[in-house]
Chain A
Amino acid sequence: MAERKLSIAVAGAGLMGRLLAWRLSKVGHQITLFDSGSLEKPAGACQTAAGMISPLSELFHCPLPIYQLGMQSLQHWPHWVRQLEELSGESVDYRQKGSILIAHPQDRSELLQFQQELNAKLGPDNRDQLQWLDNSSLHNLEPELDRFDQGLFLASEADIDNRKLLSALHKALSQSNVQLRENTPVDCGPERIKTDSGDESFDLVIDTRGLGARDQIKGLRGVRGEVVVVETPEVKLNRPVRLLHPRYQLYAVPRANNQTVIGATEIESEDMSPISLRSTMELSSALYSIHPAFAEARVIETRVNCRPATMDNLPVLESEPGLIRINGLFRHGYLLAPALVLRAETEISRLTQATEQVT
């Protein structure tokens, strides 16, 4: 039975909206993508993130569904990225070299705690996902981490240059028959999009507006995150590195052009003002403690945003006739997006088949 082709409005051109528009248009649906701002420079958390796809690291302090969705995403990113890179002609620097966790000697119990908790959550069958690194195996993977003599290796984890990905998606969408309507704030209802110039009808509306959909998602809140981008040719990391510490959480994600993205604070506040001095100091001193040569790195950029999150910090996918809402990806956008796109696709096939049976 062939699926009926729908006219679909996607509201919100963040990571979720872009991926959905791209995937759904590929199978023949007629897509209109709305965003209140510019597609060139997205205002949402997708633009601020570090692009880590790290289901194991996140499992440390997140419930199991985040891990399960993340593992599913990990299976799909590689071929989605390949298709996108071909379409757009742009590289998105997808890298699946795993990630490394380290702690200073006095904080060694943090590593043990991480290992203990992950093993408990993963169960006995999955323990090989977590590898203890001694001095030489750590330095084989990351020669620059010579201040540390042990660590944990999470071999399956990946990361992606989020801004390159967003740009590649933009390009692919521009070349497709998706209608792009930027600088157009909207309200979403079943089969209906309301813009400043009136109502428009669609077969289906998908609301991926993040905090823009605050009034529609119960308990949706913003959680402030701060990120710093530094540049130095002196320290070369091969993969994301996380420093475990009793109070600070630091990750350092190496990027092209000798840049490193470091983050991220997590503050229960919907504050979009610039990064605080305290956060700057915490992030940069933690980075400096990883390798002293970071002292001479140049601060290229600081980023601040609020991640949309629900009160249980789990993503929401709600469906009613004519309307699907996806939200609350919190700090897991790149980890969860493909898995949620697939769920939305399943939901849409269900809807279209159901309509056919009725008509």
Chain B
Amino acid sequence: MTEKLKLYGKEFDSRLLVGTALYPSPAIMRESVAASGSEIITLSLRRQSPAQQHGKMIWDYIQETGCQLLPNTAGCKTPKEVIALAEMSREIFGTDWLKLEVIGDDYNLQPDPFGLIEAARELVKRGFKVLPYCTDDLVVCRRLLDVGCEVLMPWGAPIGTGRGLMNKYNLQTLRERLPDTPLIIDAGIGAPSQACEAMEMGFDAVLLNTAIAKAQNPVLMAGSFKLAVESGRAARNAGLMLKRQTASPSTPTLDMPFWQQTVSEEKGEEKGEAKGEGEKV
């Protein structure tokens, strides 16, 4: 199936977005990006004195991947900081795409939903294509759509925890209530199986960094996530079977005459005994 991921009018084949931080070296980062097949990569410039362009060497190196760059506002805590950094990112990288992060808690880096909406409103006005990193709260997500975001990136779990999809009920709610909004699971993905599960649940893409960058072999792990995301998407499209209850049989199993099954079900705990009698017969 060749359906594309459509974000802000652009089409992508890959449904895996990756970060560029925390790798053992820039060279391994670039190899991992290539192995992941990603076409969109995030990068942070908060601490690199962007105004003075001191990080230019590494930015150029990242840009050579040819991927759509998604500068983020990691580390920002107020809409004001976010907007200043966003403007600088746009100027440096020549893209109005932005992964919006407004951090509400220093320890777990949880998004601040209030600051998020305020910042998103202003950024949309300024012409940014905003991809907000948000919680899995339906109302927060709806507000973000109201202020003009076209894509949402709810978390699976807090950044860097690798805990996977912590609140599947909320995530399922988002998917069902916002069927036409591209939803990307961002943060908290620790294992390919979790990324696969997000795709099976019908999310449009997955964004992660730590699980690849901090793996013992980041390149191998990147390839593994690529397969998982593709597999999960294909499974979603193929139509997953529903789970079945086979612990208590609804029809007789072949090795047991049906009248005995009825007997054993009626006897409940004495099942073994009933079976024993059957064998004697």
Contact = CB atoms under 8 A, between A and B. Distances in A.
A270 B56 CA distance: 8
A84 to B, nearest CB: 32
A268 B55 contact: yes
A120 B160 CA distance: 22
Given A120-B216, A276-B47, A270 B54 contact: yes
A246 interface: yes
Interface in A13-35: none
Contact of A273 (B49, B55, B58, B61): B49
A267 B26 contact: no
Interface string B43-56: 00001110010111
A358 B206 CA distance: 63
B54 A271 contact: yes
B151 to A, nearest CB: 27
A contact patch SS: loop
A269 B58 CA distance: 8
Given A267-B47, A269-B47, 11 more contacts: A61-B214, A62-B24, A63-B25, A121-B216, A221-B26, A267-B48, A268-B55, A271-B52, A311-B61, A313-B24, A313-B25
Interface of A: 61-63, 117, 120-121, 219, 221-222, 224, 246-247, 267-271, 273, 276, 278, 309, 311-314
Given A61-B24, A120-B216, A313-B24, A247 B160 contact: yes
Nearest to A314: B25
Contact of A312 (B25, B56, B160): B25
B48 A268 contact: yes
Contacts of A221: 26, 57-58
A270 B57 contact: yes
B28 A312 contact: yes
Nearest to A268: B58
B27 interface: yes
B186 to A, nearest CB: 17
Contact of B27 (A117, A222, A271, A311): A311
Contact of A117 (B48, B58, B216): B216
Contacts of B214: 61
A208 B266 CA distance: 86
Contacts of B56: 270
Given A121-B216, A246-B160, A247-B160, A269 B49 contact: yes
Contacts of A267: 47-48
A274 to B, nearest CB: 11
Given A247-B160, A267-B48, A63 B24 contact: yes
B52 A311 contact: no
B96 to A, nearest CB: 23
A338 B48 CA distance: 32
B271 to A, nearest CB: 44
Nearest to B20: A268
Contacts of A63: 24-25
* Central interface residue in B25, B52, B61, by most chain A CB within 10 Å: B25
A224 B49 CA distance: 11
Contacts of A314: 25
Contacts of B25: 63, 309, 311-314
24 contacts: A61-B214, A62-B24, A63-B24, A117-B216, A221-B57, A221-B58, A224-B54, A247-B160, A267-B47, A267-B48, A268-B48, A269-B47, A269-B55, A271-B48, A271-B49, A271-B54, A273-B49, A273-B52, A309-B25, A311-B25, A312-B25, A313-B24, A313-B25, A313-B27
Contact of A270 (B26, B30, B55, B160): B55
Contacts of B216: 117, 120-121
B55 A278 contact: no
Contact of A269 (B24, B54, B160): B54
Contacts of B26: 221, 268, 311-313
